[in-house]
Structure 1
């Protein structure tokens, strides 16, 4: 009897141990299955978004229609473009169309299958200036990032076309998916009085990129561009000073006036905190583009994808060029207007302008907390 009792006790213990082992095993299998399922779903979602970004790089809004609207204000292009996109309740434009031709396109079918709806969104980031400081270079460089989508041309919404409304502005933006940033560049925004309040009204969280450059060099570059379009333009010295004397600077002349950066920055700081503004050195953007673009990526909360491997320096132009860009996969520079040679300017005129700008530069350094060390 005693042996039978011991055998039954051992049997009960074995059964209990077996049950515990079974429960632990099932628990481990369940957690392992759940983890792998989540991992596969995450990988699938990442691959879908990667494929979609590749599609979006080939799917840009028809620029010719946008230009027609911007230049003559006719509603023909706007109405015709509506046939290729629909408008959601929130006013954002969807890439999907009701037309049979678009519906049959493989790229649209793929997007539908993935359950994703690319939209035209209002920009969350603006390159607002400064003219002739490197804004075009900044735009082309940051557009190398797969999570940045930007309007190809200057829209001039906040300074010239504000009366057309945000829906018109949105229509000029590229399509994006979740996680991508919509960006627009118009350098004249920085100096236009009404723009800060208008941008604030659109989105109080807008991030602002401002490229600045030695104001004397910037003024000469501005003049050089204008002179290239007008053969009989007066000499720089005649336009920058009153009555042909270097004693009085003509502060009403645009190229000189724009360089008083502090005056315009104070206006922006009435509506946006300094934390939403990033100042990019135009000089450093040329000499070390990877460094400045790295700062921009950090500011926008992006992974540092654009690095020194994307750039090479063209010694002839004295300007950085790209190994590839959003539009081209071959090495190329930004265009013949970049790195344009400046005319000879009387050194005395340059020195007088430097004296004129010095107190304004110091005020700008104080406002930004950055010493750009301009002469």
Structure 2
């Protein structure tokens, strides 16, 4: 999230560092995009805020979500028990937050009540892995910044399976994802994956139409 310096209303802007007109302040929280009250509150703080959202294939996302939660809660019910009200009928349980997060079109509708699409940039989560510099070049363009971050700033970490930042001058070690990230996903059977793809397909198509870009999540 990016916004210009402004007076400090009674909001979380008060908790952020003061910035000059030539600077930007950025803040990130994964739950912002899917929390219903957030667009209204951010709009009340600054309607000029620029918003960056990383999206990925919602089927991959929900499996990743479950894998990470399972690592912290070993007695978690099975993926299928959480994902479906009735799997034999293909009824997906949208009350499970991990499922609901991937229904991007619903969340975007709420944001578009307060912000124009031109102030929202969607980062392709798959390309962020395969071409991190390319995705960040688009982010820098969106923010009106000079393209400083390039390929030379990344290396691929085979253990994590993700690109990492090379060692910056101010640090003794490279910057990479935390211990809870980059885990091998649990194996989900083909039929379950196809049921989830069928469920998400109409939401994906609507999302593509809303943002004017086909992410090809199939």
Fold agreement, TM-score > 0.5: yes
Instruction: List runs of 5+ in structure 1 lacking aligned partners.
Output: 1-121, 126-164
Provide the C-alpha distance between the structure 2 equivalents of 1:237 and 1:306, rounded to a whole number of angstroms.
41
Name the structure 2 match of 1:300.
143
For residue 242 of structure 1, give the secondary structure of its aligned residue in structure 2.
strand
Matches within 5 A, 1:130-279: 166-167=9-10, 169-245=12-88, 247-279=90-122
Give the alignment partner of residue 3 of structure 2, picking from 124, 131, 140: 124
Q: 1:332 to 1:204 in 2, by over 3 A?
A: closer
TM-score (norm 1): 0.54
For residue 196 of structure 1, give the secondary structure of its aligned residue in structure 2.
helix
Cα RMSD of the aligned pairs, angstroms, is 2.0
For residue 364 of structure 1, give the secondary structure of its aligned residue in structure 2.
helix
Instruction: List runs of 5+ in structure 2 lacking aligned partners.
Output: none
Give the alignment partner of residue 354 of structure 1, picking from 189, 197, 202: 197
For residue 312 of structure 1, give the secondary structure of its aligned residue in structure 2.
strand
TM-score (norm 2): 0.91
Contact 2:11 2:45 in 1 (8 A): no
Q: 1:123 to 1:169 in 2, by over 3 A?
A: farther
Q: What are the superposed Cα offsets for residues 202-246 of structure 1, whole Å, 9 maximum, x if unpaired?
A: 111110001100000001111111111111001111110114536
Provide the C-alpha distance between the structure 2 equivalents of 1:173 and 1:256, rounded to a whole number of angstroms.
32
Name the structure 2 match of 1:334.
177
* CA drift at 1:176: 3.9
Q: What are the superposed Cα offsets for residues 252-309 of structure 1, whole Å, 9 maximum, x if unpaired?
A: 1111111110011011111111110101001111111000100000000000111111
- Larger Rg: 1 or 2? 1
Provide the C-alpha distance between the structure 2 equivalents of 1:166 and 1:313, rounded to a whole number of angstroms.
42
Name the structure 1 match of 2:130.
287
For residue 72 of structure 2, give the secondary structure of its aligned residue in structure 1.
coil
Name the structure 2 match of 1:24.
none
* CA drift at 1:170: 3.4
Aligned residues: 215
Contact 1:246 1:352 in 2 (8 A): no
For residue 185 of structure 1, give the secondary structure of its aligned residue in structure 2.
coil
